[in-house]
């Protein structure tokens, strides 16, 4: 194990079999060494800085029926909403004076989101806040559509690959969704020079050490600028409602490995991690994460954007409570910074 960790640190790469071994045989000692090395790397590139992103959940209407997700099309108990352009801009107006310099527009695959509609919103945000980055997280779209969004000024795009194993992907998604299209979208985003984020859930149903090894290999080869990794948490209105949640322990272990694969990656301590453990965000940062994404959505949107049971949106998770988040980060030796927080290339 120690040898593998040293190899990973030095070469930023392992074979699939080695990744699998590292996951399968993990223990407290390995986790400790990995997190220490991950923190060392993150400090070389990003110091003690923690970047913040204001998350705006712009719609929970979705044409997809992903088996794990609370806002899946088939969930009749989900009360649907979509924010107007004015409401979205108001979220930015609230976030800017608090120090947010990245706005993440996240939503389901809502067919109301035409290119024109989105480009208009992106242009308006960029006009009003030219020193801010706009990140989109709106699912799969065509190359032409991504191109228009990029030309309108969007800087970054988050599209979790969910799993890098095709068979596993097909167990998490209905037949009308395609692994190949997901991968194609990610490649297109890169081609268009979006700072691109992929990612996956930890402990999703049918996940194994072998599928996780493929996730790690994919990250190693795809070289995303960002990567969202959080525990799977069951949602009561999905067919996965009785599956157990992923663990903090494995999530943090994987965060450390990803930091060693890619020392300069932007790696959030996710809301899901904060939702299953009251100290989850801090544990994520202490494992090598360097980003947090507090929620800037209007209160009733927060209540309705339920991807999983008991999703956190209050306390330090609320963008308005930035001071609380600052204190929590300071208590573990880190500092929230309010610059744009771009990816530091070439490290």
| Burial of 29: CB neighbours in 10 Å, binned 0-12, 13-18, 19+ | exposed
Q: Which of 126, 160, 281, 322 binds ligand 5AD (CB under 6 A)?
A: 160
Among 46, 51, 96, 308, binds ligand 5AD (CB under 6 A): 308
User: Quick check: 162 binds ligand 5AD (CB under 6 A)?
Assistant: yes
**Residue pointed to by tokens 């409602």:** 241
Q: How many binding residues for ligand 5AD (CB under 6 A)?
A: 12
CB of 15 to ligand 5AD, least distance (A): 26
The answer to whether 328 and 282 have CB atoms below 8 angstroms apart is yes
CA 302/CA 304 separation, integer angstroms? 5
| Phi, psi torsion values for 63, nearest 5 degrees | -85, -10
Residue 39 touches ligand 5AD, criterion: CB under 6 A: no
Establish if 230 lies at the interface with ligand 5AD (CB under 6 A): yes
Of the candidates 5, 38, 62, 69, which one interacts with ligand 5AD according to CB under 6 A? 69
The encoded tokens of residue 305 equal: 């954007």
For position 267 contacting ligand 5AD by CB under 6 A, the verdict is no
Tracing tokens 């290119």 back to the chain, one arrives at 115
Closest distance of CB 156 from ligand 5AD, Å: 15
Q: Is 232 in the site for ligand 5AD (CB under 6 A)?
A: yes
Please report whether residue 164 would count as binding ligand 5AD according to CB under 6 A. Answer: no
The answer to whether residues 310 and 70 touch, using CB atoms and an 8 Å cutoff, is no
Name the pairing type of β-strands 195-202 and 156-158. parallel
> Looking at 21-29, 128-136, 230-238, 284-292, which segment touches ligand 5AD (CB under 6 A)?
230-238
Quote the CA–CA distance of 198 and 154 in Å, as a whole number: 17
| Smallest distance, ligand 5AD to C-beta of residue 169, A | 12
Interaction of residue 189 with ligand 5AD, rule CB under 6 A: no
Contacts of 162 (CB under 8 A, 6+ apart): 169, 172, 173, 182, 199, 200, 201, 204
What's the min distance (Å) between Cβ of 235 and ligand 5AD?
A: 5
Binding residues (CB under 6 A) for ligand 5AD: these are: 68-69, 160, 162, 201, 230, 232-233, 235, 272, 307-308
């Amino acid at each position: 194990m120690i040898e593998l960790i040293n190899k990973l640190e030095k070469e930023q790469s392992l074979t699939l079999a080695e990744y699998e071994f590292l996951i399968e045989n993990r223990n407290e000692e390995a986790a400790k060494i990995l997190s220490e090395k991950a923190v060392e790397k993150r400090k070389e590139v990003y110091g003690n800085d923690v970047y913040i992103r204001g998350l705006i959940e712009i719609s929970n209407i979705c044409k997809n029926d992903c088996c794990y997700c609370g806002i899946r099309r088939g969930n009749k108990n989900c009360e649907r909403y979509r924010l107007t352009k004015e409401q979205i801009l108001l979220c930015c107006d609230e976030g800017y004076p608090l120090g947010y310099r990245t706005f993440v527009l996240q939503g389901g695959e809502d067919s109301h989101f035409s290119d024109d509609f989105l480009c208009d919103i992106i242009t308006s945000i960029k006009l009003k806040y030219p020193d801010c980055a706009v990140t989109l997280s709106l699912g799969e779209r065509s190359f032409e559509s991504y191109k228009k969004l990029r030309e309108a000024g969007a800087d970054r795009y988050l599209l979790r690959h969910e799993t890098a194993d095709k068979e596993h992907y097909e167990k998490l998604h209905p037949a009308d969704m395609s692994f190949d299209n997901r991968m194609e979208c990610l490649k297109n985003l890169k081609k268009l020079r979006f700072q691109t984020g992929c990612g996956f859930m930890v402990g999703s149903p049918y996940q194994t050490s072998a599928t996780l090894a493929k996730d790690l290999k994919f990250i190693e080869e795809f070289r995303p600028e960002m990567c969202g990794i959080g525990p799977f948490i069951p949602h009561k209105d999905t067919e996965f409602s009785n599956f157990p949640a992923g663990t903090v322990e494995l999530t943090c272990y994987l965060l450390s490995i990803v930091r060693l694969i890619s020392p300069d990656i932007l790696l959030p301590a996710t809301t899901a991690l904060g939702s299953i453990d009251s100290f989850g965000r801090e544990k994520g940062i202490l494992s090598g994460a360097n980003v947090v994404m507090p929620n800037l959505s209007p209160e009733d949107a927060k209540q309705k954007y339920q991807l999983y049971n008991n999703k956190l949106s209050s306390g330090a998770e609320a963008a308005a409570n930035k001071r609380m988040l600052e204190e929590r980060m300071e208590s573990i030796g880190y500092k929230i910074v309010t610059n744009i927080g771009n990816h530091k290339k070439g490290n």
